[in-house]
Amino acid sequence: MAKKRRQDAEPEAEIETEEEHPGNRDDEEEEEDDELVSSEEDEDDDAPPSSKHLAAPIPPPLPPSSSDDTIQSDGKYRNRRRLLVLSSRGITARYRHLLEDLRTLTPHGKRECKLDVGKNYAVGGSGGGGGYGAAVNEIAELRGCHAVLFLECRKRGQDGYLWLGRTSHSNDSPSPLLPPTTSDDGAMTDTTTKIEQGKHLMISGGPSIKFHITNIHTMDELKMTGNCMKGSRPILSFDTSFDTIDHLKLVKHVLVDVFGTPRGHPKSKPFVDRVMGFYYADGKIWVRNYQILEETASTAKEANEQKKLTGHAHSTSLIEIGPRFVLNPIRIFRGSFGGQTLWVNESFVNPNVIRSMKKKEEGEKYVRRKGAENKRKRRDESIVVPKDPLSDVFR
């Protein structure tokens, strides 16, 4: 009984001690909470100010690089760039067939009808002026296109001008790698508002390049034996001049944006069976389109001979498909279809000047011919035959 009483008395004593000093445990809990809060505040002070209100998205880890330094793709359609392909009204049949060939070579392009600005975009008109540039930029914004291929014809189809460039729509959307930031008052601001409010170098689109297109030969006209899959992605081959000359470096980027089909595009085929070549000679860009043809030997003897010559049992060759044309760069603009001039081709001669000189030469030929006729007529008149004194003797 005495032992039971002692055991019962011990818990009562513990309860009494806890009741006598109830603030000791609360003080210890408060000290632990203060330590946790102070540690959290230290961590918040070390973090950037934007993480206090919204945690920045953590980018997914990069895939491990292989030994041969090849790019591993996840197979998703990420480069969602679109191309607007259109022409002006009044083009001839040759330019129209060329435009259809270019649409075939660019499966990521969007078709648009012929453009006739009329009075809407003329100076003083209801559209506020701007001409073809304002009209094309507006259409590209409505269609959501990032690049433009515009074929313009003048002088009743005698002169063809090809415009290539980026539109203002390509700079409207912010980069997905830039997270939203917070201001001093804690309000969250988007990156697009910062770009629109601040000074952005490419806010009006661009750059854009104006070419004079000559020596046009379409696919039907060439009648080449080569044939590639429709919608296949090309290999863009550039001359070494595109890496050494300053203005050609910018031209190269624009050509890649226009003729380079994005990987995984819904209308493209996951094959590479053609090559587009861009070569710089005589101050002009020569464009060619080839098919990659791989032929295997039909017999073992031919395969052995081919292996001795090239080291492979199959042979790879290029066959031209078409179209082919020559681009003479005229001017490079900073904006989309206008703006500051970055580069001018001083050696370019306007086709109107060439035609006027040709007509002047033909006019000079006419003047020389008429002068010779008048001279011959005056010479004939100046020749007088003297009268023969013996002409009446035998009458």
Give residue-wise pLDDT tens across range 76-93. 778 888 999 999 988 899
What is residue 9's predicted lDDT score, i.e. its pLDDT?
47
What is residue 75's predicted lDDT score, i.e. its pLDDT?
66
Q: Helix H segments across the chain? A: 2-20, 23-46, 93-105, 131-143, 191-197, 219-222, 246-259, 300-310, 351-382
Instruction: Evaluate the CA torsion angle 334, 252, 175, 79 in order and state its sign.
Output: positive
Between residues 264 and 53, which one has the greater pLDDT? 264
How much is the pTM? 0.67
Which residue is it, tokens 């023969």? 388
pLDDT digits (tens, 9 = 90+) for 201-226: 334 678 999 999 999 999 888 877 77
pLDDT at 151 over 60: yes
Q: What is the mean pLDDT of the chain?
A: 76
- Residue 69: pLDDT band with limits 50, 70, 90: low
Give the pLDDT mean for 252-271: 90
pLDDT digits (tens, 9 = 90+) for 341-379: 999 999 999 998 988 888 888 888 888 889 999 999 988
What is residue 160's predicted lDDT score, i.e. its pLDDT?
93
8 Å CB contact between 109 and 260:
no
Q: What proportion of the chain, given as a percentage, has pLDDT over 70?
A: 68
CA distance 27 to 34: 10
pLDDT at 184 over 80: no
CA distance 136 to 141: 9
What is residue 103's predicted lDDT score, i.e. its pLDDT?
93
Best mean pLDDT range from 169-173, 293-297, 348-352: 348-352
pLDDT at 147 over 80: yes
DSSP-derived letter for residue 98 is H
What is residue 244's predicted lDDT score, i.e. its pLDDT?
94
Three-class SS of 292-352: EEEEECCCHHHHHHHHHHHCCCEEEEEEECCCEEEEEEEEEEEECCEEEEEEECCCCCCHH
pLDDT digits (tens, 9 = 90+) for 6-15: 444 444 444 4
Note if the bond before 207 is cis, omega within 30 degrees.
yes
CA distance 268 to 109: 11
Between residues 296 and 267, which one has the greater pLDDT? 267
8 Å CB contact between 232 and 265:
no
Q: Is 331 exposed, middle or buried (0-12, 13-18, 19+ CB in 10 A)?
A: middle
